Each structure stands twice: as C-alpha cells, then as structure tokens.
Amino acid sequence: MALLEIKNVSRRFGDFTAVDDVSFTVESGEFFTLLGPSGCGKTTLLRMIAGFDLPDSGAIVLDGVDLRDTPAEQRPIHTVFQSYALFPHMTVAQNIAFPLRMAGKADDEVRTRVREAVAQVKLDKLEQRYPHELSGGQKQRVALARGLVNRPRLLLLDEPLGALDAKLREQMQIELIRLQRGVGVTFVFVTHSQAEALALSHRIAVMNHGVIEQMDEPDKLYGFPKNRFVADFIGNVNMHEATVAATGGTLTLELGTLGRIAAPSREGVKAGTGGVFVIRPEQVSIRAAAEASPDPNQFEGVVNDFLYIGDVTTYIVDLPDGKRFEALLPNSAPGRAKFFEVGDHVRLSWKAEAGAFLDA
Amino acid sequence: MFLQDAPEGGVQYWELLVSGLGWTLAVSACAWVIALLLGSAIGTLRTTHRAWVTRVGNAWVELFRNIPLLVQMFLWYFVAPEFVPALKSWVIAADPAHAQFLSAVLCLGLFTSARIAEQVRAGIQSLPQGQRLAGMALGLREPQVYRYVLLPMAFRIIIPPLTSETMNLIKNSSIALTIGLAELTFRAREIGEYTFHFFEAFSAATLIYVAIAMAANRVMALVERRTAVPGYIAHGAK
C-alpha cells in the first residue's frame, strides 16, 4: 500500500483553481518532488497535505486513513519551511528537542535523540547557539533536524534550499539525499528549480496551472518529456514548429522551410498532424562545416553567439532559413578551451533517434 | 515646610505625601496586574481565527479605548454600583477609601488592558506566519503554539511599548483624585491648600512621580536585557 495517496484533490480560491483534480501516490521511503513555476499549485497542495488548508474536494490518505478530519498538529507529518521557521528564543538544542518535549518524551530519550540528530546534520558544537547566530545553511540543518527528530511518517519540504546561495545549495542537496537515505523518512519536496528536482528525486510530478503535466523518474522526465510544457520547463530545449510528412519506422517531419528531418516515431500521429519538434542542445552535434557527419539530420549554419559556461559551451547557431538551434559542446579536449568563434560556418547534426515530436 | 504638622490627625506633611505615594503605588500595581493579565488574554484571543472571539476582543478594546479615562473613573465609582445592588450595599457600608481604591483599580486596569491587548496583538502579528505553522506541524495544539512559540517572542518584542504603558498607568493613577482617593496628587493639592505652598507641594509630587517612573523604566530595561535573545532584538542597542 502506498504511504500517501492524493485522490482527485481540488482547491479553488474564488474563481481561481489552484489545484485541479490532482491524483498521485507516494511510496514509503520515496523522495517525491512537486516541481513547477510559481502559482502552479504545488505549495497549495503541500499545505493541504500538512493540514494547513483543506481540499474543496478529493481525499488525502496517509497509511490508508483519510486525513480530512485530522488537524495539522495530529498528522504524523512535519514541514520544513523555506524561511526555516526556527524558534528564535530557543537554542539549537532546544529547537531540535522541542517536538520531543511536546510529545512528552523522557529527558534521557530527548537527550539521546537530540545528540543523534545534531550529529546527523553535522551541527556539533553549535547546540547552544541561537538561530540568529547561525548562517543560512546552519539554520536549514537545524530545521531539518527538528523536522526529523520525532520520526514523522512524512516530511514535507517547502523550497527548503531557496534561500541559500548556489554553492551551499549544491552542498545541501548532497546532504539531503544522504539524510533521506539514512533516516528512511519519506520526503515530499516542493521546488521551482528543475536542477534541484532532477538531482534529488526518485520521482517528480511536474505541475502547471493546478494540474500534473507529467509524473516520472528524473531521467525519463528529462529524456522523454510528454508535452511541450515539460520539455520547455525541464532543462533547455530547441523547439520548432513541425508537421508530420510521413509515418513509419521513423517519423518524417517537415520543419517549415528548413526541410525534412527524421525523428523517433510516436503512436497515434498521422501525416499532416502539426506539432513541435524538440531536441536537447546536448543531442545536437556541432562540427566545422567542412567536416562530414554520419547523422541523417544535418544542416549548415553560422555561429551567432555562444555561452561559455566553463565545463561546456553552448553555441547558438543560425540556420539558412532563420531558425536558431542551440548545440552543447563539452570543453573536454585538453589544451583547448573553445572550438568555434562567432561567424564560423558549422554543421549541426543529430541522429534519427534524437528529439521528439510533441503536440503543439 | 514638610516637617510641619498637618491640621488633621497629628501627622506631618511629609507623612501625607508618603501615604499618598502608598496609594498611588498600590493602585498602580494592582491595576497593572489586571491590565497585563486581561490585556494578554484579549490580545491573544484577537489573533485566533475564531470570528466571535475576535469580535468580543475588538469590542473590548474599542469600549475601553474610546471612553475618556476620567469618564470611566466616574462610571466605575458613581454609576456601576447603581446596577449591582450587592455592590451598592457594600459601597455604602465599606470604608470610602476601599470603594475608591476598588473603582480606581478596576478603571485603570481595564482601560490599560485594552491598550496592552493592542500591543500584544501587534507583537503576535509581527511574527512570521511560519512560526505558527511550524508549531502546528510539530504537533502543538493551538494553546501550546501560543504558550511556547508565539507569546515568548511577542512579549520580548513589545517590552518597549509595554514600558511606556506601565509608566502611563502610574501617571494616570492621579485621575483617582477625582473620586476622592487620597493618592499622591490628591495629597499634594491638599498640602497646597493647607499651606498655600503649592509650588513646593507639587514640586515634591513631581519629583516622586519622576522617581517612580524611572524606577519602573529601569526594571523593564532589566527585564528586557535578561530576556534578550542573542543576536535577535536589541541588536544595535549596545
């Protein structure tokens, strides 16, 4: 049986439907992420799971029990907030001990478990500090320890890394994964950062306008987006209007005035169907125009600009009909930092299995 | 002059001032306890999400805040006993000073409670919403959220306005002279009338009021220092 079941949950605020008939399940021990842009309904959903808000219709079921009549404080669910919400008048140790003390645990047990929790989040020697004497990363660790110390069935994390700088966020991501595996508590994580979602989750539900657009494992989501929104929201993508010219083992697509390309086939599409062709920049090879490529899809173009990131460079290439493609090239060749300059003539190519044809 | 005998009862004038000071302190202290307890309770209730509770709290604050203190003093002393027969018979039988004291304490206590309620409410509402939610998420019932999470911080935040309110209460106690309570201002005026040394009498009263207010101020500052959360409030104060 799934740990958490969301069954046809809807929540409206006046005319605005924040969550629209959403259903999914979360398995015990899973790291599940709700990903989407602001206003997509992910936080509303999280608040309903926590019990801070109630659905207008549908059910939230934990361990087979409908939570409708269970107030927030009685749910075996803890929340870690983006703002940390540490209690400023309590020390680190008091903050972490607080849920245990309120649950009436004996002093000995409280001490042992606080010590364990402090060690788990690497806050040793900071137990007697107050929250305002801690850095953002340290506060986040206290919030995590406080959320986990009473061993909830479910830990909800509302953009917990949103307030940290990039370097620290990456470090905390690694610790979150380690922590979640270590304690075995089920996490439901809310974020608008696709990189964070991909790095952390077992499964991701991509939300938009109150509905789940796609729910999948990170690699499936990135590699096989089901629709235009998901393709665009997760990672970078080249996206161009296309019409199906022929079906068969591979799809033949008419890419406007650019010409025809071969693309992976898809069930249920007929010749003449309009849609978009999407392909990730890292699936587009780039080489000098004079060099030959074995790929069936290839076009010559001119480098319009490039973004040098360090480990990779993204080249922005204009094709003869004005279409613009991005191609990603790792800077892995020793002794060479960059391959092409603006104005260079290049050849873009990709395999027939790369990319996807999606509904417009 | 203060060492001269007063016309009544074989006491010296300074003793009249001391007895007035005693009444002032007694009225202020009792009223302050009432004001703090009631004010905290009503201020807290006004931040809960129950409509009727909030409405009662609002009505309380508006009622006691919108009637002039002097009028309230008269209402408690002259009008309230008319509505409660038991109270009226007690007022008639009791030492007038006791009835005056009770009226003054109730009047100042309730008047100040409305003002403290507003401060407590502001203190609670100044805390981030996450604090309440975090308390609930960690399994606290609503009264516990207030007791352990919200009020400890709210009170720390409102210590400065609470200090002003305490000092106001002490100074407002002089209004009790209008119903005949022989507190400090009453005695100062009395001495002035007996001796025609109004200047000396009121200078003495002024100095005493200033001393009490400063003492109250010091005590509150001490409380503020003792309860300060490291790195939080009073950050730039030192």
* Strand ranges inside chain A, DSSP E: 4-13, 16-26, 31-35, 57-62, 65-66, 77-80, 154-158, 186-191, 203-208, 211-216, 238-246, 250-254, 260-264, 274-279, 285-288, 297-308, 312-318, 324-330, 345-350, 356-359
DSSP A100: H
> What is the structure's pLDDT at B233?
56
Locate B166 and state its tokens: 């305490």
Residue B234 has pLDDT above 80, yes or no: no
Q: What is the pTM of this model?
A: 0.81
Ramachandran assignment for A266, one of left (phi > 0), alpha (psi -120 to 50 degrees), beta (any other): beta
Question: What residues of chain A score a pLDDT lower than 70?
Answer: 335-337
Where are the domains positioned within chain A?
Answer: 4-229, 237-359
Residue B159 has pLDDT above 70, yes or no: yes
Q: What's at B179, amino acid-wise? A: I
Question: CB count, 10 Å around CB of B171?
Answer: 14
Chain A residues whose CB is inside 8 A of the B130 CB are 81, 83-85
The angle that helices B184-195 and B198-227 make with each other, rounded to 10 degrees, is 160
ipTM exceeding cut-off 0.85 for this assembly: no
Chain B residues whose CB is inside 8 A of the A78 CB are 137-138
CATH of A4-229, one of 1.20.1740.10, 3.40.50.300, 3.40.1190.20, 3.10.20.600: 3.40.50.300
* Strand ranges inside B157-229, DSSP E: none
Contact criterion met (CB < 8 Å) for B137 and A88? no
- B134: distance to nearest CA of chain A, Å? 6
Q: Which of B132, B138, B155 to mutate to test the interface with A (most CBs of A within 10 A)?
A: B138
Contact criterion met (CB < 8 Å) for A88 and B232? yes
Q: Name the closest residue on chain A to residue B133, using Cα atoms.
A: A52
> What is the structure's pLDDT at B237?
44
Residue B235 has pLDDT above 60, yes or no: no
- A72: distance to nearest CA of chain B, Å? 6
Nearest to B141 among A73, A78, A146 (CB): A73
> What is the structure's pLDDT at A150?
86
**Which 3 state secondary structure label does DSSP give A245?**
strand
Handedness of CA A214, A218, A221, A222 (dihedral sign): positive
Q: Do domains A4-229 and A237-359 have the same CATH topology?
A: no
- Give the tens place of pLDDT for each residue, A190-215: 999 998 999 999 999 999 999 999 99
- Asked if B119 contacts B162 with a C-beta cutoff of 8 angstroms, the reply is yes
> What is the structure's pLDDT at A337?
63
The band of B90, judged by pLDDT with boundaries at 50, 70 and 90, is: confident
Extract long-range pairs of A123-126: CB within 8 Å, 24+ residues apart.
A123/A92, A126/A92
The fold of A237-359 is: OB fold (Dihydrolipoamide Acetyltransferase, E2P) (2.40.50)
Q: Mean of the pLDDT values across residues B178-203?
A: 90
- Give the tens place of pLDDT for each residue, A284-342: 999 999 999 999 999 999 999 999 888 889 999 999 888 999 999 988 877 666 788 89
Q: Mean of the pLDDT values across residues B105-109?
A: 95
* Average pLDDT score, chain B: 89
The fold of B13-227 is: MetI-like fold (1.10.3720)
> What is the structure's pLDDT at B236?
44
- Give the tens place of pLDDT for each residue, B1-53: 777 777 776 788 888 899 999 999 999 999 999 999 999 999 999 998 888 99
Residue A261 pairs in a beta bridge with: A253
Contact criterion met (CB < 8 Å) for B148 and A52? no
